[in-house]
Structures are given as C-alpha cells and as structure tokens.
C-alpha cells in the first residue's frame, strides 16, 4: 500500500484500466470499477493521461458530494477519518 492514500488509490484504479483502439486510430479508456470514468485520446499516452485526469475529477466530485467511492485494493475513501490526540504523538 502506498504511503499516500489518494496516490495509491489512483495508481491501483489505473492498473485496472481497459483500453481500446478505435476505428479512426484514436483510443478510449475506462476503469470498469469506477462507474462513468471514461476518456479518449489521439494516442494511447494521451488517453492514459486523460483517464487519470478524469479519475481524479471523479474522485474529488464524489468526495465533495458524499457519493460512495468504490473500494480498490483495500483503499477505502468512504471511512470517516480518525484523529489521535496530540499527546499520543
């Protein structure tokens, strides 16, 4: 697991991405476990970058609006944060 929860989440979600080459030579990409996360690009690299951006936007909007976020590879962004007293640190 990554030290940074959002980075770990994004990296693991992107690891499950699926890409297709379209008839016009461009690419589409989607993350099946994250409903609605889809992107397009002229090259595979463009598509990968656009998919990362779309996923990040999807996460931020979902968290802000309180939507349930898909748990991926043990990364559960739906949990309420826990705080420790400063004295215990």
Query: At 10, which CATH number?
Result: 3.30.160.250
Token pair in block for residue 41:
């690009």
Q: What is the pLDDT along the chain (89 residues), one digit of tens a residue?
A: 667 889 999 999 999 999 999 999 999 999 999 999 999 999 999 999 999 999 999 999 999 999 999 999 989 998 776 777 777 66
Q: State which residues form the domain around 27.
A: 5-88
What's phi and psi for 6, nearest 5 deg?
Answer: -70, -40
Model's pTM, two decimal places? 0.84
Distance CA 9, CA 68 (A): 14
Token pair in block for residue 33:
């476990």
7 by DSSP, 3-state: which?
helix
Q: Number of structural domains, the chain?
A: 1
């Amino acid at each position: 697991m990554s030290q940074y929860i959002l980075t770990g989440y994004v990296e693991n979600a992107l690891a499950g991405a699926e890409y297709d080459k379209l008839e016009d030579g461009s690419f589409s990409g989607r993350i099946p476990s994250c409903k609605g996360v889809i992107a397009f690009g002229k090259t595979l690299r463009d598509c990968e970058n656009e998919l990362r951006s779309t996923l990040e936007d999807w996460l931020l909007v979902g968290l802000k609006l309180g939507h349930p976020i898909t748990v991926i590879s043990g990364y559960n962004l739906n949990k309420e944060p826990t705080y420790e007293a400063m004295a215990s640190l």
